[in-house]
Amino acid sequence: MAMVSNATHDPKHADKVLQDYVTVTVMNIITTFFSSPFAEQSTNVQTQHPMFVRLLQSTYRVALCNWLTGQQRYHVENCSRTLLEIAKIRGIAIPGDLETQLTAVFNKSQMIMKHSRAWMTAGKIRSDTVSQQTQDYRNIIEGLQDIVSLLEDQLKPLVQAELSVLVDVLHRPELLFPPNTDARHKCETGGFISRLIRHTEKLLEEKEEKLCIKMLQTLKEMMTIDVEYTGKSESLRQLLLTSYYGRTQVRTNRTLAQNSLNSSVQDSDRGAIMLNRAEMTLHDVQCHLDREGATDLVIDLIIHNHSSRTFQETIGLGIALLDGGNCTIQKSFLNRLTSDRNSEKFFRVIYDRMRDAQTEIKATLSVTTGETLTNKADEDRSGGQKDTAKSKTKADREIFTSELQEQMADAASTTARAYVHLQHIRHLEKGDSGAGGRQSLPAEEFIGERAMEKEKKKLSSEIAIMEPILRFLQLLCENHNRDLQNYLRTQNNKTNYNLVCETLQFLDCICGSTTGGLGLLGLYINETNVALINQTLESLTEYCQGPCHENQNAIASHESNGLNIIIALILNDISPLGKYRMDLVLKLKNNASKLLLAIMESRHDSENADGILFNMIPKQLVEVAKLAYHQVEIMEEEQENGKGGDEEPSGEEEDEDVTNSRDVGHNIYILAHQLSKHNKELAEILKPAHGDAHGDIHIDPALEYYANHTAQIEIVRQDRTMEQIVFPIPEICEYLTPETKHRVYITAERDDQGSKVSDFFSRLDDMFAEMKWQKKLRANALLCWMSGHMSFWGRSSFYLAILINILVGLNFPFINATREFDPRLSGLVWTTMFGSLAITITVWPPPRFVVITLVISAILRLIFSFGIEPTLILLGTVNVLNAIMFAVSVMGNYGTFNKPWKQMLTDFEFLYHMGYLIVSMLGLCLHELFFSLLLLDLVYREETLLNVIRSVTKNGRSILMTAVLAIILVYFFSIIGLIFFQDDFLMEVNVASALGITNKEVVNAAATALNGSPVLNADKMEEFCQAPDLFNSTFLKGLNETERASLQSGCLEKFSKDKQSIDEDDTGIERHCDTLLMCMITSMNEGLRNGGGIGDVLRKPSSGERLFYVRVVYDLLFFFIVNIITLNLIFGVIIDTFADLRSEKQQKEEILKNSCFICGLERSAFDNKTVSFEEHCKQEHNMWHYLYFIILVKVKDPTEFTGPESYVAHMIKEKNLDWFPRMRAMSLAADDGEIEQNEVRNLQFELQRTNITIQELSRQLTELKEQMTEQRKQKQRMGLFTPSSAMGTI
């Protein structure tokens, strides 16, 4: 009522159907209810006082509408008057102003009625008796229907909640009995469920069909996912559970549990879903019921073939048992069917149901071309009206919630049933069935006609039962169960029922080809039967996948038009269904393309492909794939023109439609790709780039999109045969970063067979996690932008570090005052800076040297204007900000933010960039010399320098042990030196002054400050000593006041000496081996650093000394053992390690360049072959295509797997890599096969020539034999003639 009263007053944009329904039908229902005896006896009116007042206010608001017709106003005011009277009779308090307003409305209406009563009386013709009787019938029926509908709506949730408790009890029947009792023990072992299942079958023998159906439904509900109950329903459940179990069953938060569960099992099978009421997974519940006899119950009930209702519920129970492709249930069905002698009847029942459905379809199929053309003409005439109505009601539909729509549908259905029942009475009353009825009650007649039309479009029960039957057969073959696939085709019984061919025959029948309508699919496929056709296609697909070659051949070579129907579903426009339900058409084409792919799956011959191509135009197939791609633009244009449907989809729904249409087109493209191997014309059409008559190259966007998102790999089956798989690249694979690809490609390790598959396979989980993180990262625009420019931030950090250190190295220590520069140089800097800036702005992207010139000139300008220190502060700040951006981008790309803190603290990348950032901040805030540490980033970036570091660290233990040996030897030599040559350890040293600074250093510093060079100038010494800023220099700024005064007082005295005397005064001789520690330090420091060993720094002994020769031996042994042998051992280890690393790097580069990443074949194996090595690595054995296929297996629903996908998924689960080709390629096998075929062909040719020669020799031999025989006969004749003539002479 609120919607109607608030709706637009413009009659061109109002929803008149809704207005008539509210003002006439709803008002009559309310009036009839409150006028009936049921309302008088009910006490609900007093208890629902606020609702009653709101209802009265709503009717008043509707009564104030200006667009009400006379009939509508009469019904509204009649309803308001009835409600007001009920309020007065029942003593219901209503607002005084509301009563006054209603009374005013009634008085106004009475005045109008008084003046028009004469006119209305003159128009009355109907008999009062018949009218009163009809009105009474109508009021009774409407009241009863309204009461029933109201009670159903109010009590339905409570009834469902009460029935759901029965499922809880069946899951845990042992809780009904005390612990440690026989009854509880039997229930725990499944005795209760077992007896219940056996009793279900006996119910049919006892003619208790309704109870049997209820039990079947309850068993099926035991395998349904938990339903949330709230409010009164949940309270009722808890109350019943408490009364049954004796304690409250606290339910867990199923919403959170289910959400987490769905996220965890999204990529796994459906059987892993947890049923909280059963405290088991769906797979476990199915197996539990199977052990107690549920599978046998399904088979027995199907064999006995009771009523259609029982059969339908039995099939539903079988579907629930097999849901998710439970292999255990499939095995139970197969064992029972193969061992039972009555299994033939099981298949006969299903076969007969299929036959009955086909007969029903042929008997009821009444669609003709003429009728369809008439409907199309009507649609064209009413097209403008529909578009107006759609735009008119679009805003109203957006207000409808799902709950309100359900309530409106229920109310419409209830009202339609009542008025359809009264239709006959009205016709009798009026004497005809013409337009009078429609004029009197247009809303009721309209609703009744809509209900009758909807009822008429429904499938008959014989046809509708086929959808669950086909779903049941599909689940029997789920997960490519080869035994059941073959068993559905042939049972090896006395009479075999080929359900595979019968399913194809049913598809042929329901699509209308039995009536000669092939090619006119739009006449037979509609919104009512499209779901059944889709199920038929899915069942046929499941029969073939695996592959099951026998079923493939049975479908491809069947005598019906089934294969032609499947092709026609893809190629033809299914109109008029496609005009208003394009989603159903796309789903139909998608299933049809999957079926054709299943028919050709894993076949090494071209028989089925040739059969498909024989009935198909290749160009038309490609055009259908293109049209599916461009469906996005078509839908957008239709929405702009107001023809895009009743509702404008939201952004989320629109994206889903886009993805769906392109996925369908992609499947059709893959079908065309598979067929192109057997048709050169199709292979040529599939190329994205085509040239025209002028030589220009045109690229088709649809084919380019499909080609870029399609991949192919080669796998090895269990029988060691190779198979090629073409598949769509999953969307999530687009989020794999190029940096990760490069890192994995470079760092993957080879195995013994030359393949890197094992190491590559071990990194799959990390790469998949990175893909999911990158997809999540796209939601954060700022972080996504920062992560997308990671390489830029890295390069910028390195260049800034180099630039800052160049400035520090050239100018440290800094001078605060700015220097004066040549104006010409300053002008050149300004000109260069503005010129490069102009080029950068006008040319995008600018050349690299222009950017470098702009940066250098800008920095020089800053130095000239503000000095070196402010410029360094600015560059240091930019470097810190850039380091932050770089660290965030790296952590964003690698998903560090998604890792726990402990894992982050052990991540080298995270620690490295945090250290880089800390050093940058120390250089900015503490001291400029910290910037020098940033140059070590070059070692991290360059692999060559990393190898230098690795040459020390790789064999670090060997080097460390050798160094320990060197220390031990030095220790021995130190002991000998302490004992025998203690007096020879005399070292010349330079003694520092009392202030810790030598006089020479002071003189050099003073000379540098005065002259700019460390050369003394005697004329300026006095000026230097008396200068006030002498001790403010960087070199002497650490002195305190006493030290400054002492140094300044003796400045002239010290500087009066010349440089040579200062050097002499500072020089002295010290003993360095008075203790063993000092002796060892001296030997280590001086002996290892000097080329000749320790002898170079010791005192030179005289040849006449007693220990002269011992000293010589000591020096030589130290030199040979420590300096030559030990140190060279360390150097040798480092050099050999570096050489090994370099050769390993070269070998790795050679392997990456000349061997296949997947199979390990060398480049030379593809010499003089039809496929080059580059084509092999890019197309046949692309490493990333194998990654994409594994990701596809992870994200795809297991029940949707093809045969190869199921095989690979099983191998991945077992961590078995035998499905990867090793040292094999199908192209090489094809070339070898061609060579063998050529050899066989040559042998056949030689054999034919030999046969011809043998035949010629045989012919000649036969002729020779005939000639010899003829000559022998002639000789015999001559011998006969000669004796006879002799006798005559005698």
Model confidence band, residue 461 (pLDDT cutoffs 50, 70, 90): confident
Q: pLDDT at position 1269, please?
A: 87
Tell me the two tokens of residue 792.
Answer: 């830029």
pLDDT at 142: 75
Strands (E), 1067-1192: 1067-1071
Both tokens of 280, joined, read 């088991």
| Bigger pLDDT: 562 vs 1242 | 562
The confidence score (pLDDT) of residue 753 equals 57
> Poorest-confidence range of 176-185, 226-235, 717-726?
226-235
pLDDT of res. 448: 46
Other Cβ atoms less than 10 A from the Cβ of 1024: the count is 19
Residue 606 corresponds to which tokens in the numbers above? Answer: 């071209």
Instruction: Please check the confidence at residue 903 and state whether its pLDDT lies above 80.
Output: no
Say which residue, 926 or 265, is predicted with more confidence.
926
Beta pairing class for 710-716 and 722-728: antiparallel
- Say which residue, 899 or 408, is predicted with more confidence: 899
pLDDT given for residue 598 in this prediction: 93
pLDDT at 84: 79
Mean pLDDT across 915-919 = 91
| Mean pLDDT calculated for residue range 984-1004 | 61
Q: What is the residue whose two structure tokens read 């999953």?
A: 730
* Residue with more model confidence, 991 or 611: 611
Whether residue 1129 contacts residue 962, with contact meaning beta carbons closer than 8 Å, is answered with: yes
Contact criterion met (CB below 8 Å) for 649 and 604:
no
In which element (H, E) is residue 847 found?
none
The predicted model gives 976-997 an average pLDDT of 74
Which is more confidently placed, 125 or 820? 820
pLDDT tens, residue by residue, 659-716: 478 889 999 999 999 999 888 889 888 888 766 656 667 788 899 999 999 999 999 9
d(CA 828, CA 215) in angstroms, rounded, equals: 97
Cα distances from 844 to residues 459, 851, 1018, in angstroms, run 65, 11, 62
The per-residue pLDDT for range 1201-1249, each reduced to its tens digit, is 998 999 999 999 888 888 998 888 888 876 555 555 556 666 777 888 8
Stretch among 210-214, 410-414, 462-466, 845-849 having the lowest mean pLDDT: 410-414
Per residue in 741-766, pLDDT (tens digit) is 888 888 887 765 556 788 888 888 88
Provide CB contacts within 8 A for 309, sequence distance 6+. 209, 213
Q: How far, in Å, are 286, 673, 821 from residue 668 at the CA level?
A: 37, 9, 73
Task: Please spell the DSSP secondary structure of 911-975, one letter per residue.
Answer: HHHHHHHHHHHHHHHT-GGGGGGGGGHHHHH-HHHHHHHHHHHTTHHHHHHHHHHHHHHHHHHHH
In this predicted structure, the answer to whether residue 531 has a pLDDT above a threshold of 60 is: yes
* pLDDT-based confidence at residue 433 (cuts at 50, 70, 90): very low
* C-alpha dist (Å) from residue 570 to 152, 305, 620, 704: 45, 37, 10, 21
Q: Using a pLDDT cut of 70, give the percent of the chain over it.
A: 75
pLDDT tens for 1124-1138 read 998 888 888 888 888
Residue 1101 pLDDT greater than 90, yes or no: no
pLDDT at 1016: 45
| 970-980 confidence digits (pLDDT tens) | 999 999 998 98
Cα–Cα distance list, 322 to 284, 478, 542, 1002 (Å): 12, 9, 14, 96
Is 1053 a residue whose pLDDT tops 70? no
Stated pTM of the model:
0.69
CA 575/CA 522 separation, integer angstroms: 5
Q: Which pLDDT value is given to residue 21?
A: 78
The answer to whether 31 and 82 have CB atoms below 8 angstroms apart is yes
1221 burial class (0-12, 13-18, 19+ CB within 10 angstroms)? buried
- Mean pLDDT, rounded, for 1166-1194: 90
Residue 459 DSSP class: P
Q: How far apart are CA 1143 and CA 1069, in angstroms?
A: 52
User: Residue-wise over 654-669: b if at least 16 C-beta within 10 A, else e?
Assistant: eeebeebbbebbbbbb
Lowest mean pLDDT among 1002-1011, 1051-1060, 1070-1079: 1051-1060
48-62, 132-146, 347-361, 647-661 — most confident range = 347-361
CA angle 270, 274, 278 (to 5 degrees): 125
1125 DSSP 8-state letter = I
Q: How far apart are CA 284 and CA 274, in angstroms?
A: 9
CA 456 to chain centre: 42
247-256, 1030-1039, 1078-1087, 1272-1281: which has the highest mean pLDDT?
Answer: 1078-1087
CA distance 235 to 502: 51
- Cα angle: 968, vertex 969, 974; to 5 degrees: 95
Backbone angles phi, psi at 727, to 5 degrees: -150, 155
Buried b (16+ CB within 10 A) or exposed e, 761-788: bebeeebbebbebbeebeeeeebeebbe
Confidence at residue 1233, expressed as pLDDT on a 0 to 100 scale: 53
Give the pLDDT band (50/70/90) at residue 1280.
Answer: low
Q: What is the pLDDT of residue 12?
A: 57
Neighbours of 1051 (CB within 10 A): 19
Quote the longest CA-to-CA distance of the chain.
184
121 confidence band (pLDDT: 50, 70, 90) = low
Confidence of residue 1004 (pLDDT cuts 50, 70, 90): low
Mean pLDDT check: name the lowest of 298-302, 324-328, 570-574, 946-950: 946-950
* Interval 423-439 mean pLDDT: 41
pLDDT band at 1055 (very low <50, low <70, confident <90, very high): low
Q: Give residue 9's pLDDT.
A: 57
Average pLDDT over residues 50-59: 79
Distance separating alpha carbons of residues 775 and 325, to the nearest angstrom:
31
Over its C-alpha atoms, the chain yields an Rg (Å, rounded) of: 49
Average pLDDT, the chain: 77
10 Å CB burial of residue 631 (0-12, 13-18, 19+) is buried
Is 1156's pLDDT higher than 60?
yes
Please report where in the chains the tokens 């009854």 appear, as a residue.
183
Give me the mean pLDDT over the 556-581 stretch: 85
Bigger pLDDT: 231 vs 1200 = 1200
- Is 1016 within 8 Å of 1059 (Cβ atoms)? yes
**pLDDT category of residue 265 using cuts at 50, 70 and 90:** very low
Is the pLDDT assigned to residue 941 strictly greater than 60? yes
User: Which of these ranges, 148-157, 283-292, 463-472, has the smallest mean pLDDT?
Assistant: 148-157
Per residue in 839-872, pLDDT (tens digit) is 878 877 777 777 888 888 888 888 878 888 888 8
d(CA 1010, CA 1056): 16
Give one DSSP letter per residue of 132-169, joined into a string: HHHHHHHHHHHHHHHHHHHHHHHHHHHHHHHHHHHHHH
Helix (H, G, I), strand (E, B) or coil at 280: strand
Question: How far is 1214 from 1193, CA to CA, in rounded Å?
Answer: 14
The answer on pLDDT for 1015 being more than 70 is no
**Cβ atoms of residues 593 and 541 within 8 Å:** no
The backbone region for 1099, taken as left when phi is positive above 0, alpha when psi lies in -120 to 50, beta otherwise, is beta
The confidence band for 525, taking pLDDT boundaries of 50, 70 and 90, is confident
544 close to 596: Cβ distance less than 8 angstroms: no
Distance CA 858, CA 874 (A): 12
Q: pLDDT-derived band of residue 127, with 50, 70 and 90 as boundaries?
A: very low
Query: How long a stretch of residues is the chain?
Result: 1290
Q: Calculate mean pLDDT across residues 251-259.
A: 38
Q: Taking the alpha carbons of 1265, 1270, 1271, 1273 in that order, is the dihedral positive or negative?
A: positive
Residue 356: predicted pLDDT = 92
pLDDT of amino acid 254: 37
The pLDDT of residue 889 is: 84
For 742, the enclosing helix (H) or strand (E) is helix 738-747
Measured from the Cβ of residue 740, the count of other Cβ atoms closer than 10 Å reads 17
End-to-end alpha-carbon separation of the chain, Å? Answer: 150
Task: Inform me whether the pLDDT recorded for 1157 exceeds 90.
Answer: no
